[in-house]
């Protein structure tokens, strides 16, 4: 090791030691003023009140809703060891505060530049959750350390471990190991085997992410991490860990009923309180907080009314219904006005599809990864590319109907969701450009997403409805992305403000690009694939998205879809709707498309939510600086006049082109076969048209589209709903 590196390490170690000495000096100073611990306070709960945006109480959260205390002797030794190995491996050695763990955590955090490890002991965690507020300050941390030392003097190690195991939160409204064992496995805590114990011990670190009912892969990986730590601690052998890793786990079907109104929204509030403000879920139910949220009862009730009506959703199967989720955000503030995580929810704090479900967005991703960055590069919406078979280094995206229309503009490609155009344009601007654009819109991508399938929503992990709503909020908010959030302010039981919303903001695209993108997305709703989302008294912009079945042997001879989306906005609100099966297989897949049921649900909710709200208009876009670029060689300037008169492929009539949309997956076959030239819904009722009791099937929609292709242009879309400078919805 060089002399420079040795000196650097010396000074780092010295700095850490000085820090630790200062910290414990503060501990001693505060310790003199801290009263003795009252054992009764461990079981003293205060009701937490949750308010809507108008200051009305919408929920009262009190006590652990599901906790069954048991003595340490009735808790599996495997579970005790798993928790100790995971949370505090030196639990039986330190006096309540582990100096060695603190130094190790400080060193790791210092080297990584972020918080990767904490130094809190089990005793400190018990103290924090039972006695202290979640404020982040040196005084609170010092108080926590002092109380931990005092708690260790008044209770034995086994008593402290018993209290901790009976209060720790395991997700889905369960507190303590007994309630968790019964909830997940249908057995007592004393009966848990090694595999089950390691699984449960991994959940408290992140109860939402590591729930087997939310993310099985993440939960399983967490179990394996716990087993590895048990091996390192000497509790089990590597062979025992391997047997436990392979052992099948049999989970009990979750059936706990919710106990408060707006459960999906409140669940997000609880998670946000934990992740952003450091209030553990258990503290939320015991701490007597006042939590002020952005929930708008009119919006939330509109969502719940529609989602309680099965006629707005495709018929499912006897063993599995078609699920759906929706998020509504105010784009200017990022405040979540309402959301729902699923249909006919039966569990408390279960799978919340609005924020936890990651699925491919299909064509709804095109404006984010292709068209917005293209506009930022001053590419005109009237830019013409040929819709024709594509083969780019072996990547062959197709249009759903197998037909190609020749020269079309960006405006037409967006309205009718043409796959080949989007892929060609992404190739022109560069995959890296589209990748960076998606990241700027708030999506966490991985290097494997860098490919032309990005244009069609082909993502490794997928996206959530919340992410999609926030991303489209950029177009409604002059190009500014605002961090979505439910909580406006949190006060302690004593009235002290301990948290307040200051959402992150960033300029993602220019205001000009946002306005032009809105103008283009209005075409989707006015005459393109999303006409079922039209509102009678508000302008609407939006995009459909549909992902077809995966390219797997079990789906080889089937025709259907996996996911269907509609993401749209008005000047006041932006909302995303997802629809699909939780578990897609050969017996459970969609026949619907993004422009059908999802658009109908969006329209039904938003017509209610905006009833009586004065009409507002989108900003008028400026096309200054955007010149038309004629690309692809086959389209020349001298052909411009002829192209404008008839841009259909040779052999077709001058009937308006019916571009069939797509589905976005890694194979590149995207289909949004939705309502390409159908009349708007009835304008005298908030319910969608056609009637939600009998919406058209995908087959009927395709038949209608084929019929429209042979119709005379006399039934074309009104001029007010056509692109500027055109005589029909599809002309150049």
Give catalytic residues, as residue numbers: 87, 363
Burial of 407 (0-12, 13-18, 19+ CB in 10 A): buried
- Give the residue from 327, 322, 329 showing the smallest Cα distance to 354: 327
3-state DSSP helix/strand/coil % of the chain, to nearest 5? 40, 15, 45
The answer to whether 454 and 426 have CB atoms below 8 angstroms apart is yes
Distance of CA 211 to the CA centre of its chain: 16
The answer to whether 670 and 397 have CB atoms below 8 angstroms apart is yes
**Could you give the CA distance from residue 181 to residue 590 in angstroms, rounded to a whole number?**
36
**Could you give the CA distance from residue 363 to residue 43 in angstroms, rounded to a whole number?**
52
Longest alpha-carbon distance in the chain: 92
Distance of CA 77 to the CA centre of its chain: 37
Residue 501, CA atoms < 13 Å, CB-side half-sphere: 21
State the virtual CA torsion across 546, 552, 554, 557 in degrees, nearest 10.
Answer: 70
DSSP summary character for residue 341: -
The answer to whether 721 and 410 have CB atoms below 8 angstroms apart is no
**∠ CA 570-276-273, rounded to 5°:** 85
Structure tokens at 23: 């910290």
**Could you give the CA distance from residue 182 to residue 253 in angstroms, rounded to a whole number?**
11
Helix/strand/coil for 282: helix
Cross-strand bridge partners of residue 463: 359
Crossing angle (nearest 10°) for helices 216-232 and 238-246: 160
Give the E-state strand segments of 31-91 in sequence order. Answer: 48-51, 57-61
Structure tokens at 501: 């919303």
Helix/strand/coil for 67: strand
Distance of CA 226 to the CA centre of its chain: 27
DSSP string, 418-452: -HHHHHHHHHHH-HHHHHHHHHHTT----GGG-SG
- Give the residue from 71, 72, 90 showing the smallest Cα distance to 152: 90
Give the E-state strand segments of 83-127 in sequence order. Answer: none
Structure tokens at 484: 């979505």
State the virtual CA torsion across 333, 278, 181, 77 in degrees, nearest 10.
Answer: 160
Number of neighbours of residue 570 by Cβ within 10 angstroms: 24
**Could you give the CA distance from residue 163 to residue 155 in angstroms, rounded to a whole number?**
10
């Amino acid at each position: 090791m060089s002399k420079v590196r040795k000196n650097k390490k010396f000074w780092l170690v010295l700095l850490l030691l000085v820090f630790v000495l200062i910290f414990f000096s503060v501990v001693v100073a505060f310790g003199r003023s801290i009263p003795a611990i009252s054992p009764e306070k461990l079981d003293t709960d205060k009701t937490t009140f949750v308010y809507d945006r108008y200051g009305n109480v919408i929920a009262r959260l009190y006590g652990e809703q599901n906790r069954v205390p048991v003595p340490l002797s009735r808790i599996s030794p495997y579970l005790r060891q798993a928790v100790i190995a995971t949370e505090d491996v030196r639990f039986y050695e330190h006096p309540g505060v582990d100096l060695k763990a603190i130094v190790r955590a400080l060193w790791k955090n210092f080297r990584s530049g972020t918080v990767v490890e904490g130094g809190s002991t089990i005793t400190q965690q018990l103290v924090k959750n039972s006695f202290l507020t979640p404020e982040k300050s040196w005084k609170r941390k010092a108080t926590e350390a002092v109380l931990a030392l005092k708690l260790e003097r008044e209770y034995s190690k086994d008593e402290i471990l018993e209290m901790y195991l009976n209060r720790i939160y395991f997700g889905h409204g369960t507190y303590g190991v007994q309630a968790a064992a019964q909830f997940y496995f249908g057995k007592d805590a004393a009966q848990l085997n090694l595999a089950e114990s390691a699984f449960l011990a991994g959940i408290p670190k992140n109860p939402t992410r590591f729930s087997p009912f939310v993310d099985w892969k993440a939960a399983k990986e967490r179990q394996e991490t716990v087993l590895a730590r048990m091996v390192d601690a000497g509790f089990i052998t590597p062979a025992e860990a391997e047997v436990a890793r392979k052992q099948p786990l049999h989970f009990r079907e979750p059936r706990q009923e919710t106990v408060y109104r707006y459960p999906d929204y409140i669940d997000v509030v609880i998670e946000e309180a934990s992740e952003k403000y450091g209030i553990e879920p258990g503290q939320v139910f015991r701490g007597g907080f006042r939590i002020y949220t952005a929930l708008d009862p009119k919006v939330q009730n509109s969502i719940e009314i529609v989602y309680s009506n099965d006629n707005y959703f495709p018929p499912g199967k006897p063993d599995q219904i078609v699920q759906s989720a929706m998020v509504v955000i105010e784009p200017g503030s990022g405040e979540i006005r309402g959301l729902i995580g699923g249909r006919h929810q039966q569990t408390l704090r279960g799978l919340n599809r609005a924020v936890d479900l990651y699925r491919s967005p299909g064509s709804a991703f095109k404006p984010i990864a292709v068209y917005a960055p293209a506009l930022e590069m001053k590419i005109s919406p009237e830019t013409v590319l040929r819709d024709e078979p594509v083969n780019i280094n072996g990547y062959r995206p197709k249009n759903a109907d197998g037909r190609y229309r020749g020269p079309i503009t960006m405006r037409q490609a967006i309205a009718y969701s043409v796959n080949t155009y989007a892929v060609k344009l992404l190739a022109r601007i560069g995959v890296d450009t589209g990748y960076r654009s998606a990241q700027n819109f708030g999506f966490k991508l991985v290097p494997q997403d860098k490919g032309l399938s990005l244009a069609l929503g082909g993502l490794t992990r997928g996206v959530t409805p919340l992410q999609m709503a926030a991303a489209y909020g950029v177009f409604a908010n002059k190009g500014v992305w605002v961090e979505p959030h439910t909580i406006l302010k949190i006060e302690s039981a004593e009235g002290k403000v301990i948290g307040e919303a200051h959402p992150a903001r960033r300029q993602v695209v220019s205001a000009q690009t946002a306005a032009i993108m809105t103008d283009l997305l209005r075409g989707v709703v006015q005459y393109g694939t999303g006409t079922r989302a039209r509102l009678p008294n508000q302008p609407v912009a939006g995009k459909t998205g549909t992902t077809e079945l995966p390219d797997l042997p079990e789906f080889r001879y089937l025709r259907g879809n996996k996911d269907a989306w509609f993401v749209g906005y008005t000047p006041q609100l932006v909302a995303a709707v997802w629809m699909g099966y939780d578990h897609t297989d050969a017996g459970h897949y969609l026949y619907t498309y993004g422009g059908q049921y999802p658009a109908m649900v969006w329209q039904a909710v938003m017509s209610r939510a905006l009833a009586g709200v004065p009409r507002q208009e989108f900003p008028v876009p400026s096309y200054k600086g955007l010149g038309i670029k004629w690309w692809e060689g086959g389209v020349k300037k001298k052909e411009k006049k002829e192209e404008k008169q008839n841009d259909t492929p040779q052999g077709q009539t001058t009937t308006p082109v019916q571009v069939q949309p797509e589905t976005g997956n890694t194979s590149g076959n995207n289909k949004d076969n939705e309502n390409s030239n159908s009349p708007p819904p009835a304008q005298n009722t908030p319910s969608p048209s056609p009637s939600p009791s009998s919406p058209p099937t995908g087959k009927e929609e395709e038949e209608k589209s084929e019929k429209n292709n042979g119709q005379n242009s006399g039934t074309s879309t009104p001029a007010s709903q056509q692109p500027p400078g055109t005589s029909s919805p599809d002309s150049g």
